[in-house]
Structure 1
């Protein structure tokens, strides 16, 4: 068994603020340690610069130097591998490559992106740092086909690029529910892309055939805006608030269809949760999102707008047998491709040889 250093420059898995990044980091730590290896969160240093502020970037680089010095001396002697999750131009890994070079550790990245378009402009220095960190990695595990495009084009030397499909932190699928209830939406309520998805949902509902109802699970600072968007539909829309895992699973179980447009989602863990529960999904055909959706159904392009989403919803709501068939196929695909055991096997097939070579 090995000791693994884990680091997430975008957001620590110990952050009190819920987000997809936090959950993915937690899931990765469990997945990496699934065979009994010890996974240590070695730093909570956050290198995130949301606005492209030169002063912020300078301050973060100075702080990173102190963290490099600390970790170079503080890492346990039996540390065998460093893994960084989510290195990109707004949150580059400013410490991992330097610590690995000083300590002679193999360096692996998961879900990293290269953004040549950001090598000029307010994030130019951070974009270059993210590229340099990518170059330092012997293995980069990518989650979506969209990320692979630039990683492959800019691949450094003999670096291995390994597909690691997004996964749920489960060993087995949950039981299949009755699925005779409302449409279900699950999404954080915040400004930007999440609110854009809620606007698209509100624009879709008027095109639905009679008899529909919608439950919305989620909360956040934009809740008032979401409630205002849904106010015209009265009691047909029910807000569930932020749910714990058990209550959320109950919502998936009773729903008939899962609906989330997915505006600019990296991929969206909620799609995997819904499909694992046996729900057909209505979403737009977007990069990243399509990597976690069941192939086969025709998901509308973003340019087709709300009416196309409504047409897909209406077809599913009107045909119980189609819903059940698609839901069963989705469960099978999640079981084969998107559970923790499959992810752990893929990761260790890629990272295991690095440990052997470093001994």
Structure 2
């Protein structure tokens, strides 16, 4: 099987780490299982993060030139299908549908987002392109039921939607945590996306009993000073680890007792999968997307605020048997649904729907 893979927001070989890059790399690995040849079709990035009409017009013009080049490459390579990851109004797929049509091969998408409210306003041109690309897909794989809502609402009659649970780029589980170390929070330090979770963490820590607790924080970024200011009242109990690479973070999971991350504005959160694979119980808030990747009992409701999070942490830390039970449930769920073999099986089902085997 020979497949073309494309990520308009960020290619999988981009040098800058990010969640998008990690997911793209995992998708390539899952598609490449069992001897499938996966080609990176293009490194063309279509993202406009500011809503600039001139930027969008220029990117659309650049894409027209890229379509011709990629179509010729696809003919030589003998691609049998095209898969695009993360088509949405800020980074639409401007080349995949046209190349797939030129080569007369199936066009599929993974984690596409519908946003028809953007068809007017500063992203109108890109929103129209993203909608057109979504309409052209014969199959769309979605990560969460929250994502599926608008996809189902706006899907063309013949389009097939398939649930692809988020997954880790690994075949087996890592070594399990001993569950005897400090608590752990993991998140980049960015004002818009992650700072609200850090604010909730600080509010929660203030409600913990005056006992010998410790929290380690893995992550860094432009809002680090703000995060450090939030944690200043707990200086003796909070330790900053900075940004960690994959192996170092895996070791920290192994040494921790639980993961505490509220999950504000997380699509689902790869950190939850990583932590649970290592057997860490999770304390989070019950949010769309997040709830779909967490094992065990429902998490505290958002409206219950930091008080309920503090109660959940206190209960978990005071009951080692409960922590170990949660750890077993978490690892079992990850092994069944969120590793490469499971993802590869789902992707092959989708490809079979369009006659590619």
Q: Give yes or no for TM over 0.5.
A: yes
Structure 1 unmatched ranges of 5 or more: none
1:148-187 pair list within 5 angstroms: 148-187=148-187
Q: Distance in 2 between matches of 1:354 and 1:63?
A: 30
The yes-or-no answer on 1:16 pairing with 2:4 is: no
Greater CA drift, 219-228 or 21-30: 219-228
Is residue 7–residue 41 contact of structure 1 (8 Å, CA) maintained in 2?
yes
Task: State whether residues 291 and 298 of structure 2, in contact with CA within 8 Å, keep that contact through their aligned partners in structure 1.
Answer: no
Measure, in 2, the Cα distance between the counterparts of 1:312 and 1:11: 37
Please tell me whether the aligned partners of residues 280 and 327 of structure 1 are also in contact (alpha carbons under 8 angstroms). yes
Give yes or no for the alignment of 1:219 onto 2:216: no
Structure 1 residue aligned with 2:50:
51
Q: Contact between 1:184 and 1:255, CA under 8 Å: does it hold in 2?
A: yes
Any residues of structure 2 matched to 1:1-359 within 5 Å, and which? 2-75=1-74, 76-209=76-209, 210-294=211-295, 296-356=296-356
Per-residue deviation, 1:356: 4.1
Query: Alignment partner of 2:108: what SS?
Result: strand
Shift of 1:353: 4.2
List per-residue Cα deviations over 1:187-232 (Å, max 9, x = no partner): 1111212111111111111111222100011112222221222122
State how far apart, in whole Å, the 1-side matches of 2:97 and 2:246 are.
36
Partner of 1:79, secondary structure, is coil
Q: TM-score, normalised by structure 2?
A: 0.96
Q: Partners in 2 of 1:168 and 1:315 — Cα distance?
A: 29
Q: Residue 246 of structure 1: CA displacement?
A: 2.2
Check whether the contact 2:7–2:85 (CA below 8 A) recurs between aligned residues: yes
Structure 2 CA distance, aligned partners of 1:77 and 1:256?
49
- The answer on whether the counterparts of 2:26 and 2:169 sit within 8 Å (CA) in structure 1 is yes
Farther-moved stretch of structure 1 (223-232 vs 181-190): 223-232
Write the deviation string for residues 122-152 of structure 1: whole angstroms up to 9, x where unpaired.
2222112111101111110000000111111
8 Å contact kept, 1:6–1:82: yes
Tell me, in whole angstroms, the C-alpha distance in 2 between the residues paired with 1:199 and 1:38: 45
3-state SS of paired residue (1:5): strand
Contact 1:80 1:355 (8 Å CA) reproduced? no
Instruction: Please report the TM-score for the alignment, with normalisation by the length of structure 1.
Output: 0.96
Q: Distance in 2 between matches of 1:126 and 1:57?
A: 7
Alpha-carbon distance, 1:313 to partner: 1.0
Q: C-alpha displacement at 1:77, in angstroms? A: 4.1
Q: Deviations over 1:75-126 (max 9, x none)?
A: 2341111110000111110110011111111111000111122222222221
What is the DSSP-based 3-state SS (H/G/I as helix, E as strand, rest coil) of the residue aligned with 1:141?
strand
What secondary structure, in the 3-state scheme, does the structure 2 residue paired with 1:128 have?
helix
Contact 1:81 1:355 survives alignment (8 Å): no
Offset at residue 238 of structure 1 (A): 0.8
CA–CA distance in structure 1, aligned partners of residues 158 and 140 of structure 2:
11
Return the offset for 1:303. Answer: 2.3
**Partner SS, residue 342 of structure 2:** helix
- Aligned-pair distance for 1:177? 2.0
Aligned residues: 355
1:153 Cα shift?
1.1
The alpha-carbon deviation at position 157 of structure 1 amounts to 2.3
**Structure 2 unmatched ranges of 5 or more:** none
Alpha-carbon shift at residue 321 of structure 1 (Å)? 0.8
1:244: Cα distance to partner?
A: 2.2
